[in-house]
Chain A
Protein backbone atom coordinates (compact mmCIF):
# COMPACT_ATOMS: atom_id res chain seq x y z
CA UNK A 1 0.00 0.00 0.00
CA UNK A 2 2.82 2.35 0.88
CA UNK A 3 4.14 2.00 -2.69
CA UNK A 4 0.81 3.00 -4.20
CA UNK A 5 0.76 6.01 -1.90
CA UNK A 6 4.34 6.88 -2.89
CA UNK A 7 3.54 6.68 -6.59
CA UNK A 8 0.38 8.79 -6.22
CA UNK A 9 2.34 11.45 -4.33
CA UNK A 10 4.98 11.31 -7.08
CA UNK A 11 2.39 11.80 -9.81
CA UNK A 12 0.96 14.81 -7.95
CA UNK A 13 4.46 16.26 -7.49
CA UNK A 14 4.90 15.76 -11.24
CA UNK A 15 2.07 18.27 -11.73
CA UNK A 16 4.21 20.94 -10.02
CA UNK A 17 7.20 20.10 -12.20
CA UNK A 18 4.98 20.20 -15.29
CA UNK A 19 3.88 23.70 -14.26
CA UNK A 20 7.53 24.72 -13.91
CA UNK A 21 8.18 23.30 -17.35
CA UNK A 22 5.10 24.37 -19.33
CA UNK A 23 6.20 28.00 -19.73
CA UNK A 24 9.70 26.92 -20.71
CA UNK A 25 8.28 24.45 -23.24
CA UNK A 26 5.92 27.08 -24.69
CA UNK A 27 8.70 29.61 -25.27
CA UNK A 28 11.11 27.03 -26.64
CA UNK A 29 8.44 25.51 -28.90
CA UNK A 30 7.57 28.83 -30.53
CA UNK A 31 10.86 30.71 -30.80
CA UNK A 32 13.55 28.11 -29.99
CA UNK A 33 14.60 30.32 -27.09
CA UNK A 34 16.08 28.57 -24.06
CA UNK A 35 15.26 30.85 -21.15
CA UNK A 36 17.88 30.24 -18.45
CA UNK A 37 16.12 32.75 -16.21
CA UNK A 38 12.88 30.73 -16.17
CA UNK A 39 13.40 29.37 -12.63
CA UNK A 40 14.26 32.83 -11.34
CA UNK A 41 11.16 34.29 -13.00
CA UNK A 42 9.10 31.70 -11.07
CA UNK A 43 10.79 32.75 -7.82
CA UNK A 44 10.29 36.42 -8.69
CA UNK A 45 6.58 35.75 -9.28
CA UNK A 46 6.37 33.96 -5.91
CA UNK A 47 7.80 37.08 -4.22
CA UNK A 48 5.33 39.28 -6.07
CA UNK A 49 2.47 37.11 -4.79
CA UNK A 50 3.99 37.31 -1.29
CA UNK A 51 4.14 41.11 -1.50
CA UNK A 52 0.50 41.30 -2.59
CA UNK A 53 -0.55 38.94 0.20
CA UNK A 54 1.37 40.97 2.79
CA UNK A 55 0.36 44.42 1.54
CA UNK A 56 -3.29 43.76 0.77
CA UNK A 57 -3.91 41.00 3.30
CA UNK A 58 -5.47 38.81 0.63
CA UNK A 59 -5.46 35.10 -0.11
CA UNK A 60 -2.49 33.85 -2.25
CA UNK A 61 -4.92 32.57 -4.92
CA UNK A 62 -6.42 36.03 -5.29
CA UNK A 63 -2.95 37.56 -5.21
CA UNK A 64 -1.88 35.25 -8.06
CA UNK A 65 -4.95 36.34 -10.02
CA UNK A 66 -3.86 39.97 -9.62
CA UNK A 67 -0.20 39.19 -10.34
CA UNK A 68 -0.91 37.22 -13.54
CA UNK A 69 -1.90 40.13 -15.86
CA UNK A 70 0.93 42.26 -14.46
CA UNK A 71 3.45 39.47 -15.14
CA UNK A 72 1.95 38.99 -18.62
CA UNK A 73 2.94 42.61 -19.23
CA UNK A 74 6.40 42.05 -17.77
CA UNK A 75 6.90 39.04 -20.07
CA UNK A 76 5.61 40.96 -23.10
CA UNK A 77 7.96 43.90 -22.46
CA UNK A 78 10.91 41.62 -21.67
CA UNK A 79 10.48 39.76 -24.95
CA UNK A 80 9.71 42.83 -27.06
CA UNK A 81 12.55 45.00 -25.83
CA UNK A 82 15.23 42.53 -24.71
CA UNK A 83 14.87 38.95 -25.88
CA UNK A 84 13.66 39.66 -29.43
CA UNK A 85 16.96 41.42 -30.04
CA UNK A 86 18.85 38.25 -29.18
CA UNK A 87 16.97 35.90 -31.54
CA UNK A 88 18.69 34.84 -34.74
CA UNK A 89 20.71 32.04 -36.27
CA UNK A 90 23.20 32.13 -33.38
CA UNK A 91 21.85 30.39 -30.25
CA UNK A 92 24.44 31.91 -27.93
CA UNK A 93 23.04 35.47 -27.44
CA UNK A 94 19.71 34.34 -25.88
CA UNK A 95 21.58 31.96 -23.57
CA UNK A 96 23.96 34.69 -22.43
CA UNK A 97 21.26 37.30 -21.99
CA UNK A 98 18.90 35.02 -20.04
CA UNK A 99 21.84 33.79 -17.93
CA UNK A 100 22.62 37.42 -17.12
CA UNK A 101 18.95 38.06 -16.40
CA UNK A 102 18.97 35.12 -13.99
CA UNK A 103 21.86 36.67 -12.02
CA UNK A 104 20.20 40.09 -12.03
CA UNK A 105 16.88 38.68 -10.72
CA UNK A 106 18.57 36.64 -7.98
CA UNK A 107 20.58 39.60 -6.75
CA UNK A 108 17.69 42.02 -6.94
CA UNK A 109 15.54 39.62 -4.89
CA UNK A 110 18.38 39.16 -2.42
CA UNK A 111 18.68 42.92 -2.09
CA UNK A 112 14.95 43.42 -1.69
CA UNK A 113 13.94 40.42 0.42
CA UNK A 114 17.20 39.18 2.06
CA UNK A 115 18.30 35.53 1.98
CA UNK A 116 15.63 34.47 4.52
CA UNK A 117 13.35 31.80 3.18
CA UNK A 118 9.65 32.67 2.82
CA UNK A 119 6.44 30.80 2.34
CA UNK A 120 2.94 31.51 1.07
CA UNK A 121 0.34 30.41 3.57
CA UNK A 122 -3.03 29.04 2.45
CA UNK A 123 -4.25 28.32 5.99
CA UNK A 124 -6.13 25.09 6.55
CA UNK A 125 -5.80 24.03 2.93
CA UNK A 126 -2.13 23.29 3.64
CA UNK A 127 -3.01 20.32 5.79
CA UNK A 128 -6.37 19.36 4.27
CA UNK A 129 -6.51 15.93 2.63
CA UNK A 130 -8.96 13.70 0.82
CA UNK A 131 -9.31 9.95 1.17
CA UNK A 132 -9.24 8.43 -2.32
CA UNK A 133 -9.78 4.73 -1.71
CA UNK A 134 -6.81 3.40 0.20
CA UNK A 135 -4.74 6.54 -0.35
CA UNK A 136 -4.94 9.94 1.30
CA UNK A 137 -3.98 12.82 -0.94
CA UNK A 138 -3.31 16.41 0.12
CA UNK A 139 -5.72 18.98 -1.26
CA UNK A 140 -2.90 21.34 -2.32
CA UNK A 141 -0.91 18.67 -4.25
CA UNK A 142 -4.18 17.62 -5.90
CA UNK A 143 -4.99 21.24 -6.79
CA UNK A 144 -1.47 21.61 -8.19
CA UNK A 145 -1.89 18.57 -10.41
CA UNK A 146 -5.36 19.63 -11.58
CA UNK A 147 -3.98 23.11 -12.35
CA UNK A 148 -1.19 21.56 -14.41
CA UNK A 149 -3.74 19.63 -16.46
CA UNK A 150 -5.95 22.70 -16.88
CA UNK A 151 -2.93 24.75 -18.00
CA UNK A 152 -1.88 22.12 -20.53
CA UNK A 153 -5.42 21.66 -21.88
CA UNK A 154 -5.78 25.45 -22.15
CA UNK A 155 -2.44 25.86 -23.91
CA UNK A 156 -3.24 23.03 -26.32
CA UNK A 157 -6.61 24.60 -27.06
CA UNK A 158 -4.93 27.94 -27.60
CA UNK A 159 -2.42 26.34 -29.96
CA UNK A 160 -4.78 24.29 -32.07
CA UNK A 161 -8.15 26.04 -31.94
CA UNK A 162 -7.46 29.76 -32.06
CA UNK A 163 -6.20 32.26 -34.56
CA UNK A 164 -3.39 33.27 -32.20
CA UNK A 165 -2.37 29.62 -31.81
CA UNK A 166 -2.18 29.14 -35.58
CA UNK A 167 -0.05 32.27 -35.78
CA UNK A 168 2.17 30.82 -33.01
CA UNK A 169 2.62 27.60 -34.97
CA UNK A 170 3.12 29.35 -38.32
CA UNK A 171 5.74 31.67 -36.82
CA UNK A 172 7.43 28.73 -35.11
CA UNK A 173 7.57 26.97 -38.49
CA UNK A 174 8.95 29.88 -40.51
CA UNK A 175 8.99 33.40 -39.08
CA UNK A 176 10.12 35.04 -42.35
CA UNK A 177 7.33 33.52 -44.46
CA UNK A 178 4.82 34.24 -41.69
CA UNK A 179 5.80 37.90 -41.79
CA UNK A 180 5.09 37.92 -45.55
CA UNK A 181 1.56 36.71 -44.73
CA UNK A 182 0.96 39.70 -42.44
CA UNK A 183 1.93 38.00 -39.14
CA UNK A 184 4.22 40.11 -36.93
CA UNK A 185 6.72 37.65 -35.41
CA UNK A 186 7.98 40.18 -32.85
CA UNK A 187 4.45 40.63 -31.46
CA UNK A 188 3.78 36.90 -31.60
CA UNK A 189 6.95 36.15 -29.61
CA UNK A 190 6.11 38.86 -27.06
CA UNK A 191 2.59 37.48 -26.61
CA UNK A 192 3.99 33.94 -26.18
CA UNK A 193 6.36 35.09 -23.44
CA UNK A 194 3.49 37.00 -21.80
CA UNK A 195 1.42 33.80 -21.74
CA UNK A 196 4.44 31.85 -20.43
CA UNK A 197 4.61 34.38 -17.56
CA UNK A 198 0.97 33.70 -16.69
CA UNK A 199 1.90 29.99 -16.42
CA UNK A 200 4.94 31.06 -14.37
CA UNK A 201 2.58 32.85 -11.96
CA UNK A 202 0.54 29.68 -11.47
CA UNK A 203 3.75 27.67 -10.94
CA UNK A 204 4.94 30.31 -8.43
CA UNK A 205 1.69 30.08 -6.46
CA UNK A 206 2.11 26.34 -5.93
CA UNK A 207 5.87 26.57 -5.43
CA UNK A 208 5.35 29.09 -2.64
CA UNK A 209 2.53 27.20 -0.95
CA UNK A 210 4.26 23.81 -1.14
CA UNK A 211 7.65 24.69 0.30
CA UNK A 212 9.88 27.50 1.43
CA UNK A 213 11.57 29.66 -1.18
CA UNK A 214 14.45 32.09 -1.19
CA UNK A 215 16.10 34.18 -3.93
CA UNK A 216 18.57 31.46 -4.95
CA UNK A 217 16.32 28.45 -5.59
CA UNK A 218 15.45 29.41 -9.19
CA UNK A 219 18.22 27.49 -10.97
CA UNK A 220 17.26 24.20 -9.26
CA UNK A 221 13.64 24.71 -10.42
CA UNK A 222 14.98 25.43 -13.89
CA UNK A 223 16.75 22.06 -13.88
CA UNK A 224 13.56 20.19 -12.99
CA UNK A 225 11.75 22.13 -15.70
CA UNK A 226 14.46 21.31 -18.24
CA UNK A 227 14.39 17.65 -17.35
CA UNK A 228 10.60 17.50 -17.66
CA UNK A 229 10.69 19.26 -21.05
CA UNK A 230 13.48 17.04 -22.39
CA UNK A 231 11.95 13.80 -21.12
CA UNK A 232 8.63 14.77 -22.71
CA UNK A 233 10.19 15.78 -26.02
CA UNK A 234 10.95 19.40 -26.81
CA UNK A 235 7.85 21.42 -27.59
CA UNK A 236 5.25 18.80 -26.59
CA UNK A 237 3.02 20.02 -23.73
CA UNK A 238 1.50 16.66 -22.81
CA UNK A 239 5.02 15.23 -23.02
CA UNK A 240 6.04 17.88 -20.51
CA UNK A 241 3.39 16.62 -18.08
CA UNK A 242 4.63 13.06 -18.62
CA UNK A 243 8.19 14.27 -18.00
CA UNK A 244 7.14 16.02 -14.81
CA UNK A 245 5.37 12.90 -13.59
CA UNK A 246 8.39 10.69 -14.33
CA UNK A 247 10.67 12.99 -12.32
CA UNK A 248 8.11 13.32 -9.52
CA UNK A 249 7.56 9.56 -9.22
CA UNK A 250 11.30 8.86 -9.40
CA UNK A 251 11.91 11.40 -6.63
CA UNK A 252 9.24 10.06 -4.27
CA UNK A 253 10.30 6.44 -4.94
CA UNK A 254 13.94 7.40 -4.31
CA UNK A 255 12.94 9.16 -1.09
CA UNK A 256 10.90 6.14 0.03
CA UNK A 257 13.97 3.94 -0.29
CA UNK A 258 16.34 6.44 1.26
CA UNK A 259 15.50 10.12 1.93
CA UNK A 260 18.95 11.15 0.64
CA UNK A 261 18.15 9.67 -2.76
CA UNK A 262 15.18 11.89 -3.55
CA UNK A 263 16.82 14.47 -5.79
CA UNK A 264 19.35 12.01 -7.19
CA UNK A 265 16.62 9.54 -8.24
CA UNK A 266 14.92 12.26 -10.32
CA UNK A 267 18.14 13.08 -12.16
CA UNK A 268 18.89 9.36 -12.69
CA UNK A 269 15.45 8.87 -14.23
CA UNK A 270 16.19 11.79 -16.55
CA UNK A 271 19.53 10.29 -17.62
CA UNK A 272 17.94 6.88 -18.22
CA UNK A 273 15.22 8.37 -20.45
CA UNK A 274 17.83 10.42 -22.29
CA UNK A 275 19.90 7.28 -22.93
CA UNK A 276 16.94 5.27 -24.19
CA UNK A 277 15.04 8.03 -26.05
CA UNK A 278 17.46 10.90 -26.79
CA UNK A 279 14.69 12.97 -28.45
CA UNK A 280 12.32 12.46 -25.52
CA UNK A 281 9.14 10.42 -25.23
CA UNK A 282 6.94 12.54 -27.50
CA UNK A 283 9.26 14.57 -29.75
CA UNK A 284 7.57 17.35 -31.72
CA UNK A 285 10.17 19.96 -32.45
CA UNK A 286 12.50 19.42 -35.39
CA UNK A 287 15.67 21.44 -35.01
Chain B
Protein backbone atom coordinates (compact mmCIF):
# COMPACT_ATOMS: atom_id res chain seq x y z
CA UNK B 1 0.00 0.00 0.00
CA UNK B 2 1.29 3.50 -0.83
CA UNK B 3 2.21 5.55 2.24
CA UNK B 4 2.84 8.66 0.15
CA UNK B 5 1.41 9.42 -3.29
CA UNK B 6 1.93 12.40 -5.57
CA UNK B 7 -0.57 12.82 -8.36
CA UNK B 8 0.16 15.24 -11.20
CA UNK B 9 1.94 17.75 -8.90
CA UNK B 10 3.19 20.94 -10.59
CA UNK B 11 4.90 24.08 -9.39
CA UNK B 12 6.20 27.15 -11.25
CA UNK B 13 8.10 30.25 -10.20
CA UNK B 14 6.86 32.75 -12.78
CA UNK B 15 7.74 31.28 -16.16
CA UNK B 16 10.13 28.74 -14.63
CA UNK B 17 8.37 25.40 -14.23
CA UNK B 18 10.28 23.64 -11.45
CA UNK B 19 7.92 20.67 -11.10
CA UNK B 20 5.84 19.37 -13.96
CA UNK B 21 3.09 16.79 -13.53
CA UNK B 22 5.03 14.70 -11.03
CA UNK B 23 3.31 11.41 -10.23
CA UNK B 24 4.71 8.59 -8.13
CA UNK B 25 3.92 6.41 -5.10
CA UNK B 26 6.08 5.39 -2.17
CA UNK B 27 5.22 2.00 -0.71
CA UNK B 28 5.34 1.43 3.03
CA UNK B 29 8.88 0.43 4.05
CA UNK B 30 10.30 1.32 0.64
CA UNK B 31 13.45 3.37 -0.01
CA UNK B 32 13.16 5.54 -3.12
CA UNK B 33 16.22 7.37 -4.46
CA UNK B 34 15.83 10.64 -6.34
CA UNK B 35 18.51 11.70 -8.80
CA UNK B 36 18.82 14.43 -11.38
CA UNK B 37 21.18 17.20 -12.46
CA UNK B 38 21.52 20.40 -10.44
CA UNK B 39 18.42 22.54 -10.84
CA UNK B 40 16.25 19.56 -11.80
CA UNK B 41 13.80 20.40 -8.97
CA UNK B 42 14.82 17.75 -6.43
CA UNK B 43 14.82 19.94 -3.33
CA UNK B 44 11.69 21.69 -4.63
CA UNK B 45 10.04 18.27 -4.71
CA UNK B 46 10.80 17.89 -0.98
CA UNK B 47 9.51 21.39 -0.28
CA UNK B 48 6.26 20.49 -2.01
CA UNK B 49 5.96 17.23 -0.06
CA UNK B 50 6.64 18.93 3.32
CA UNK B 51 4.39 21.88 2.44
CA UNK B 52 7.13 24.53 2.63
CA UNK B 53 6.07 25.40 -0.91
CA UNK B 54 2.41 25.31 -1.93
CA UNK B 55 1.65 23.27 -5.04
CA UNK B 56 0.14 25.03 -8.06
CA UNK B 57 -1.82 21.97 -9.10
CA UNK B 58 -2.03 18.29 -8.31
CA UNK B 59 -2.59 16.33 -5.15
CA UNK B 60 -0.41 14.89 -2.39
CA UNK B 61 -1.70 12.02 -0.29
CA UNK B 62 0.01 10.93 2.90
CA UNK B 63 -1.27 7.90 4.85
CA UNK B 64 -4.32 7.85 2.63
CA UNK B 65 -5.24 11.46 3.47
CA UNK B 66 -5.14 14.45 1.10
CA UNK B 67 -2.51 16.76 2.63
CA UNK B 68 -2.15 19.12 -0.35
CA UNK B 69 -3.42 22.11 1.68
CA UNK B 70 -2.12 20.99 5.10
CA UNK B 71 0.52 23.34 6.63
CA UNK B 72 4.13 22.06 7.10
CA UNK B 73 3.95 21.66 10.86
CA UNK B 74 0.88 19.43 10.70
CA UNK B 75 2.56 17.31 8.05
CA UNK B 76 5.53 16.95 10.39
CA UNK B 77 3.22 15.99 13.26
CA UNK B 78 1.50 13.41 11.08
CA UNK B 79 4.83 11.73 10.29
CA UNK B 80 6.87 13.47 7.60
CA UNK B 81 10.47 13.89 8.80
CA UNK B 82 13.02 15.84 6.82
CA UNK B 83 16.74 16.55 6.74
CA UNK B 84 18.22 19.57 4.97
CA UNK B 85 20.89 19.72 2.27
CA UNK B 86 22.77 22.21 4.44
CA UNK B 87 22.45 20.91 8.02
CA UNK B 88 20.41 23.26 10.20
CA UNK B 89 20.89 22.10 13.79
CA UNK B 90 19.86 24.36 16.69
CA UNK B 91 23.42 25.55 17.13
CA UNK B 92 23.22 26.68 20.75
CA UNK B 93 21.44 23.57 22.00
CA UNK B 94 23.30 20.39 22.86
CA UNK B 95 22.99 17.40 20.54
CA UNK B 96 20.66 15.69 23.02
CA UNK B 97 18.54 18.83 23.42
CA UNK B 98 18.20 19.06 19.64
CA UNK B 99 16.64 15.60 19.66
CA UNK B 100 14.52 16.18 22.74
CA UNK B 101 12.95 19.33 21.25
CA UNK B 102 12.16 17.44 18.04
CA UNK B 103 10.91 14.38 19.95
CA UNK B 104 8.77 16.27 22.48
CA UNK B 105 7.26 18.89 20.19
CA UNK B 106 7.16 16.66 17.10
CA UNK B 107 5.03 14.12 18.97
CA UNK B 108 3.23 16.42 21.44
CA UNK B 109 4.69 14.42 24.33
CA UNK B 110 6.41 15.47 27.57
CA UNK B 111 10.22 15.34 27.46
CA UNK B 112 10.54 12.47 29.95
CA UNK B 113 8.51 10.23 27.65
CA UNK B 114 10.85 10.77 24.70
CA UNK B 115 14.28 11.09 26.37
CA UNK B 116 15.04 7.32 26.40
CA UNK B 117 14.08 7.04 22.76
CA UNK B 118 16.27 10.06 21.91
CA UNK B 119 19.21 8.39 23.64
CA UNK B 120 18.56 5.20 21.60
CA UNK B 121 18.53 7.25 18.38
CA UNK B 122 21.85 8.83 19.38
CA UNK B 123 23.31 5.35 19.83
CA UNK B 124 21.88 4.24 16.49
CA UNK B 125 23.28 7.27 14.65
CA UNK B 126 26.67 7.10 16.38
CA UNK B 127 26.27 10.41 18.20
CA UNK B 128 25.91 9.19 21.79
CA UNK B 129 29.48 10.30 22.57
CA UNK B 130 28.56 13.84 21.56
CA UNK B 131 25.23 13.99 23.40
CA UNK B 132 26.21 16.90 25.62
CA UNK B 133 28.20 18.78 23.01
CA UNK B 134 26.79 22.08 21.73
CA UNK B 135 25.59 21.39 18.17
CA UNK B 136 27.38 24.46 16.79
CA UNK B 137 30.73 22.74 17.44
CA UNK B 138 30.04 19.54 15.47
CA UNK B 139 31.96 18.47 12.37
CA UNK B 140 30.14 18.17 9.03
CA UNK B 141 29.63 14.39 9.39
CA UNK B 142 28.32 14.84 12.91
CA UNK B 143 25.96 17.59 11.73
CA UNK B 144 24.63 15.32 9.01
CA UNK B 145 24.15 12.54 11.55
CA UNK B 146 22.36 15.01 13.80
CA UNK B 147 20.06 16.00 10.93
CA UNK B 148 19.17 12.34 10.51
CA UNK B 149 18.84 11.73 14.26
CA UNK B 150 16.67 14.80 14.79
CA UNK B 151 14.37 13.86 11.93
CA UNK B 152 14.09 10.34 13.41
CA UNK B 153 13.22 11.77 16.84
CA UNK B 154 9.98 13.15 15.39
CA UNK B 155 9.01 9.45 14.82
CA UNK B 156 8.47 9.90 11.11
CA UNK B 157 6.66 7.39 8.98
CA UNK B 158 8.46 8.73 5.93
CA UNK B 159 11.98 10.14 6.12
CA UNK B 160 13.02 12.67 3.47
CA UNK B 161 16.82 12.82 3.18
CA UNK B 162 18.21 15.74 1.15
CA UNK B 163 21.79 15.11 -0.05
CA UNK B 164 22.80 13.85 3.34
CA UNK B 165 25.98 12.23 1.98
CA UNK B 166 27.13 15.34 0.10
CA UNK B 167 30.48 16.81 1.16
CA UNK B 168 31.55 13.76 3.17
CA UNK B 169 34.76 11.80 2.70
CA UNK B 170 34.48 8.25 1.37
CA UNK B 171 34.89 6.75 4.85
CA UNK B 172 32.38 9.12 6.39
CA UNK B 173 29.94 8.36 3.58
CA UNK B 174 30.21 4.59 4.24
CA UNK B 175 29.56 5.15 7.93
CA UNK B 176 26.48 7.26 7.20
CA UNK B 177 25.14 4.79 4.63
CA UNK B 178 25.49 1.99 7.18
CA UNK B 179 23.40 4.04 9.60
CA UNK B 180 20.73 4.75 6.97
CA UNK B 181 20.65 1.05 6.01
CA UNK B 182 20.07 0.18 9.64
CA UNK B 183 17.23 2.72 9.93
CA UNK B 184 15.67 1.43 6.71
CA UNK B 185 16.02 -2.18 7.83
CA UNK B 186 13.89 -1.21 10.84
CA UNK B 187 11.01 -0.58 8.40
CA UNK B 188 11.36 3.16 7.78
CA UNK B 189 10.09 4.45 4.43
CA UNK B 190 12.67 6.76 2.88
CA UNK B 191 12.91 9.17 -0.03
CA UNK B 192 16.53 10.12 -0.54
CA UNK B 193 17.87 12.81 -2.88
CA UNK B 194 21.53 12.16 -3.54
CA UNK B 195 24.35 12.82 -5.98
CA UNK B 196 26.58 10.15 -4.45
CA UNK B 197 25.12 7.32 -6.52
CA UNK B 198 26.89 4.34 -4.96
CA UNK B 199 25.60 5.47 -1.54
CA UNK B 200 22.10 5.86 -2.90
CA UNK B 201 21.97 2.56 -4.77
CA UNK B 202 23.18 0.68 -1.71
CA UNK B 203 19.94 1.62 0.04
CA UNK B 204 17.31 2.53 -2.57
CA UNK B 205 15.08 -0.16 -4.03
CA UNK B 206 13.86 2.17 -6.79
CA UNK B 207 15.26 5.28 -8.43
CA UNK B 208 13.34 8.28 -9.71
CA UNK B 209 15.06 10.58 -12.20
CA UNK B 210 14.13 14.24 -12.48
CA UNK B 211 15.12 16.62 -15.26
CA UNK B 212 13.76 20.14 -15.68
CA UNK B 213 11.09 19.33 -13.10
CA UNK B 214 9.83 16.23 -14.98
CA UNK B 215 10.02 12.59 -14.00
CA UNK B 216 11.95 10.98 -16.85
CA UNK B 217 12.21 7.55 -15.31
CA UNK B 218 11.31 5.52 -12.27
CA UNK B 219 12.16 1.90 -11.60
CA UNK B 220 14.77 -0.46 -10.20
CA UNK B 221 18.25 1.09 -10.01
CA UNK B 222 19.90 -1.18 -12.62
CA UNK B 223 17.25 -0.53 -15.24
CA UNK B 224 17.32 3.21 -14.56
CA UNK B 225 21.11 3.51 -14.64
CA UNK B 226 21.23 1.57 -17.90
CA UNK B 227 18.44 3.54 -19.54
CA UNK B 228 19.65 5.45 -22.58
CA UNK B 229 17.61 8.55 -21.74
CA UNK B 230 18.94 8.72 -18.18
CA UNK B 231 22.52 8.27 -19.30
CA UNK B 232 22.14 11.02 -21.88
CA UNK B 233 20.37 13.55 -19.68
CA UNK B 234 21.67 12.82 -16.23
CA UNK B 235 25.13 11.42 -16.78
CA UNK B 236 25.80 13.52 -19.92
CA UNK B 237 26.89 10.46 -21.87
CA UNK B 238 26.14 10.69 -25.56
CA UNK B 239 24.90 7.24 -26.50
Contacts and interface: CB of A to CB of B under 8 A. Distances in A.
Are both chains from one complex? yes
Interface of A: 163, 166-167, 169-170, 172-174, 177-184
Given A166-B101, A181-B101, A182-B108, A173 B92 contact: yes
Majority-rule SS of A interface residues: helix
A174 B88 contact: yes
A167 B50 contact: no
A177 B76 CA distance: 11
A179 B102 CA distance: 10
Given A163-B110, A163-B111, A167-B105, A181 B92 contact: no
Nearest to A177: B88
Interface string B86-118: 001011110001101110111110110000000
Given A166-B97, A167-B101, A180 B90 contact: no
Nearest to A179: B73
A202 B50 CA distance: 43
B42 interface: no
Most buried by B among A166, A177, A180: A180
15 contacts: A163-B100, A163-B111, A166-B101, A166-B104, A169-B97, A170-B93, A170-B98, A173-B91, A174-B90, A180-B73, A181-B150, A182-B105, A183-B101, A183-B105, A184-B73
Interface in B27-79: 50, 52, 72-73, 76-77
Contacts of A177: 84, 88, 90
A170 B73 contact: no
Contacts of B107: 182
B82 interface: yes
A147 to B, nearest CB: 28
Contacts of A170: 90, 93, 97-98, 101
B154 interface: yes
A101 to B, nearest CB: 29
Interface residues of B, number: 27
Contacts, number: 61
Contacts of A181: 76, 101-102, 105-106, 150, 154
Contacts of A163: 100, 104, 110-111
A174 to B, nearest CB: 6
A178 B104 contact: no
A172 B108 CA distance: 20
B43 to A, nearest CB: 14
A184 B108 CA distance: 11
Contacts of B98: 170
Nearest to B110: A163
Contacts of A178: 90, 101, 105
A23 B154 CA distance: 32
A182 B102 contact: yes
Given A166-B111, A179-B73, A181-B101, 16 more contacts: A166-B100, A166-B101, A167-B105, A169-B92, A170-B98, A170-B101, A173-B90, A174-B90, A177-B84, A177-B90, A178-B105, A179-B72, A180-B82, A181-B154, A182-B76, A182-B106
B93 A180 contact: no
A286 B110 CA distance: 30
A189 to B, nearest CB: 15
B90 to A, nearest CB: 4
Contacts of B111: 163, 166
A232 B227 CA distance: 64
Most buried by A among B92, B98, B106: B92
B90 A169 contact: yes
B110 A180 contact: no
A117 B98 CA distance: 50
